[in-house]
Structure 1
Amino acid sequence: MVTQVRHPIWLPAVKPAGARTFATLYALESFARASIASVVPIQAYELLQNKQTVSLLYTLVAFIGLSATLFMPMLIDRFSRRWIYTTGVALLAVGSLLFMTHSLPGQMFGMLARVMGASALAITLNLYIMDHIRKTDIMQAESLRMATSMIAWTGGPTLGVFLYTRYGIFVTHGVVVAFAIALLITFWYFRLGDNAMIRPGKTRPANPLRNIGRFVAQPRLRLAWVIAFGRSCFWTTFFVYGPILMVVTGQGELAGGLLVSAGNALLFAAIYWGKAGRRFGARNIMAFAFVGMSAALLLAGLDGERLPLVTGVFLLFGALFAVALDALGSTAFMRAVRIHERPQMTAVYRTYLDLSELLPPLVYSVVLAFFGLGAVFVTLGAFTAICGFITWRYLPKSM
């Protein structure tokens, strides 16, 4: 018949996006990032040969990345989410190509590309999740997403250090490029950008400073940011200063990778933390997690460089509680943000990650001028205790 239309057979084969879709994308992204999570700080330390200077380098990169994050809604409005996501994947690959130069400029710009790529991926993926996952299902979906990434964050750091020490810099960062290509192919296979329901709105993009003011004016968004910032400060410290602790105390680079991998292996507990949150309430579990994390960090700080392996054990206890906040923390934001403000507020919310990579190294660079590495963990433990009190005091019981 003239009116009959033949469609390609494979188009209907892609199921509507759901929790498993985003878990798959996040798992591939995690492989691309985790495989050099321990290599980047070690490589920076090799180039600079100074713990304090490494902290300052991380501070500079995070500050520039923060600026890029705040302008992300304008870029999304101009180029659409799928192209921003694609650019984010490309930046991960470009970052590794820059790392291959093993030079200070290559290290700095590689770290910057990595930070900006992670920012683009996090913001666009969160927008897709909020479009496709019901608010009542977010806690379960986020738990699945964290748990699915466990393999990447468990094996990735150790694999990266192993490849770095055994086969060199080109093979190590070549793995990142391979995973970035796989992620890009998978993303376009799901065709998330082709769905008219999730295209960016036609409202004019707001000034980034105005977005910040609007965000700060909403108490529940402020609280969600504090929760995310507190747990992200832990992971930043764990990823950077855990491997450095192992190197400067003579345990070796591989020990640093094993420490990070062991901490990430605890991501399997995200499923159980999610169940605990649904049974006992997210507020109770998150406040408990902050308290447990603080205690573990204070104990790690007391041991410091004297007993590095014992310090590593306490850091792993802290990681277990941080996983609870990974599984439940974003729920506070996703349930509070208004639909028409999602792109703008998500970009401001995402600054927790940039600032967690900016402020702690800046503070630690001052602390390290007077004390050893143990003081870094004590400082963080005091801060996470404050985050726990704020969570218990102000997060609604209905969470």
Structure 2
Amino acid sequence: MWTLGLSYAVSTFARCLPISIIPTIALGRLGDPGLVSALYMGTSCLSLAAGIALPRLLPRIGLAGTLIACALLGISCWLTFLIPGLVSLFAGLTLYVLMVLFFENASNMAVLGLIPRRDHKAYESRRVMLAAPSYMLGPVIGTAMQDHGLVALVFASMAACTCLAPVLVAISAGTTERLARMRHPSHKGFALRNFLASARLRAAWILAIGRAMWCQMLFVYTPLLAVSLGVDLVQAGILISLSSGLLLGAPLWEGLTRKLGLRRFMALAYTICGLFACVAGFLAQHSFGLFAAAMFASAVSVSAIDSVANTPVLRAVRARDAARMIPVYNTFREAAQVFPAGAYAVLLIFFDLQYIFVATGLGLVGIAWFCRLLPRRA
């Protein structure tokens, strides 16, 4: 269990190392922040399409093939970003997005194939805890290396991690033959239609979108709010770092989850998270300190949500259906970038920036209603 969790931490580190320097590379080549946003929007739409298409591919190549694809995508991304020009920029970002998508699918397929269903909750909380240092240190290390002119080394390190993570999965499986046998047969029917037919899968996807929306609100709109209020960006950075650091406490929620049950625990966590986000939005006009306190309280509830992580979808998917259903589920990250971004753009036409937090908070409270579709037991 721990080795498999470590493989996820390594793949997360591979994702986070270049995550803060890719936008600066794009800005340097495109010269316009608006074009950078359009580039990211385009790759998010491409990733959404890939998430719908992967159910036809992954059952054929199985977990072993998916892991090999992760490594190849990481190496290709490294080499592509070293080539100057706009074409290589789009190709490199596309390869990066596909690498992240393949790793997410491989991670969930490995859990369903290697971890007993009764242990999913315990594994997920430990996985999140192991990945926390990657989320916290990856962007810092990447930007520090960029400041020293070591951009090529950033991508080389990313590629090395994408090769190490599959090795750790193989070690967790025990034998490479076991990995090779984890090939899922193709089933008839369109995967998206089958996914939408399951109430529990729909609920898991919507809950994941809500969690991703909260992250977007924290990482994107908190610094923007600080700038609009004339507050030092360092304060926003401290808030973001402290909120991310709460992931280390994910296993501490296990006892409360067992006591309340998965359904009530998640409903309570989403509701409290949303309410504190709303309060943060209203307090922003009075004091950034009060806003930060409310956002940190909201982040505590998010750490409770993270302790459950992918348990709702893992409980709803059979191992033999993982290669078809998991890719559809993993589109939540891209959906949370595409759809809410449009809603936020419209909202900002009529309201101030602080109401992004109010709207997101109300959305999370509404999303808590879907927790009634989850299993009762953790």
Q: Name the TM-score, length of structure 1 as normaliser.
A: 0.81
Which residue does 1:326 correspond to in 2? Answer: 306
What SS does the aligned partner of 1:335 have? helix
The separation in 1 between residues aligned to 2:98 and 2:325, in whole angstroms, is: 18
How far the C-alpha of 1:120 sits from its partner, in A, is 0.9
What SS does the aligned partner of 1:285 have? helix
- Answer yes or no: is the 8 Å Cα contact 1:29–1:180 preserved in 2: yes
The separation in 2 between residues aligned to 1:318 and 1:103, in whole angstroms, is: 42
Which residue does 2:376 correspond to in 1? Answer: 397
Which residue does 1:335 correspond to in 2? Answer: 315
The more displaced of 120-129 and 325-334 is 325-334
Which residue does 1:118 correspond to in 2? Answer: 100
Unaligned runs of 5+ residues in structure 1 are: 1-18
The residue type paired with residue 374 of structure 2 is: L
What SS does the aligned partner of 1:126 have? helix
- Answer yes or no: is the 8 Å Cα contact 2:128–2:306 preserved in 1: yes
The residue type paired with residue 363 of structure 1 is: A
Deviation per CA, 1:251-303: give whole Å up to 9, x if none.
Answer: 67776655443322111121012232112212222112111221232233335
The residue type paired with residue 213 of structure 2 is: C
Change in Cα spacing, 1:102 to 1:282, as seen in structure 2 (3 Å) is farther
Question: CA-atom RMSD, angstroms?
Answer: 3.2
Which residue does 2:9 correspond to in 1? Answer: 27
Which residue does 1:271 correspond to in 2? Answer: 251
**Is 1:194 the counterpart of 2:185 in the alignment?**
no
Deviation per CA, 1:3-28: give whole Å up to 9, x if none.
Answer: xxxxxxxxxxxxxxxx1121110110
Change in Cα spacing, 1:182 to 1:329, as seen in structure 2 (3 Å) is closer
How far the C-alpha of 1:312 sits from its partner, in A, is 4.6
- Answer yes or no: is the 8 Å Cα contact 1:119–1:350 preserved in 2: yes
The separation in 1 between residues aligned to 2:229 and 2:146, in whole angstroms, is: 20
Unaligned runs of 5+ residues in structure 2 are: none
**Is 1:221 the counterpart of 2:204 in the alignment?**
no
- Answer yes or no: is the 8 Å Cα contact 2:280–2:292 preserved in 1: yes
**Is 1:74 the counterpart of 2:53 in the alignment?**
no
Deviation per CA, 1:337-387: give whole Å up to 9, x if none.
Answer: 234322211222222222123222232233344444323322221211111
Change in Cα spacing, 1:271 to 1:226, as seen in structure 2 (3 Å) is same
Which residue does 2:41 correspond to in 1? Answer: 59
Deviation per CA, 1:74-122: give whole Å up to 9, x if none.
Answer: 2223333222222223324544555556866555443322221111111
The alignment covers a number of residue pairs equal to 376
- Answer yes or no: is the 8 Å Cα contact 1:86–1:184 preserved in 2: yes
The residue type paired with residue 353 of structure 1 is: R
- Answer yes or no: is the 8 Å Cα contact 2:210–2:363 preserved in 1: yes
Which residue does 2:191 correspond to in 1? Answer: 211
The more displaced of 117-126 and 178-187 is 178-187
- Answer yes or no: is the 8 Å Cα contact 2:62–2:323 preserved in 1: no
How far the C-alpha of 1:49 sits from its partner, in A, is 4.9
1:86 maps to which of 54, 57, 68: 68
The more displaced of 331-340 and 215-224 is 331-340
The separation in 2 between residues aligned to 1:295 and 1:306, in whole angstroms, is: 18
- Answer yes or no: is the 8 Å Cα contact 2:109–2:319 preserved in 1: no
The more displaced of 148-157 and 239-248 is 239-248
1:36 maps to which of 18, 27, 44: 18
Which residue does 1:157 correspond to in 2? Answer: 139
The separation in 1 between residues aligned to 2:330 and 2:366, in whole angstroms, is: 21
- Answer yes or no: is the 8 Å Cα contact 1:74–1:205 preserved in 2: no
Q: Percent identity?
A: 24
The separation in 1 between residues aligned to 2:277 and 2:320, in whole angstroms, is: 39
Which residue does 1:4 correspond to in 2? Answer: none
The more displaced of 229-238 and 378-387 is 229-238
How far the C-alpha of 1:328 sits from its partner, in A, is 1.3
- Answer yes or no: is the 8 Å Cα contact 1:237–1:360 preserved in 2: no
The residue type paired with residue 123 of structure 1 is: N
The residue type paired with residue 101 of structure 2 is: S
- Answer yes or no: is the 8 Å Cα contact 2:48–2:334 preserved in 1: yes
Change in Cα spacing, 1:313 to 1:161, as seen in structure 2 (3 Å) is farther
The residue type paired with residue 364 of structure 1 is: Y
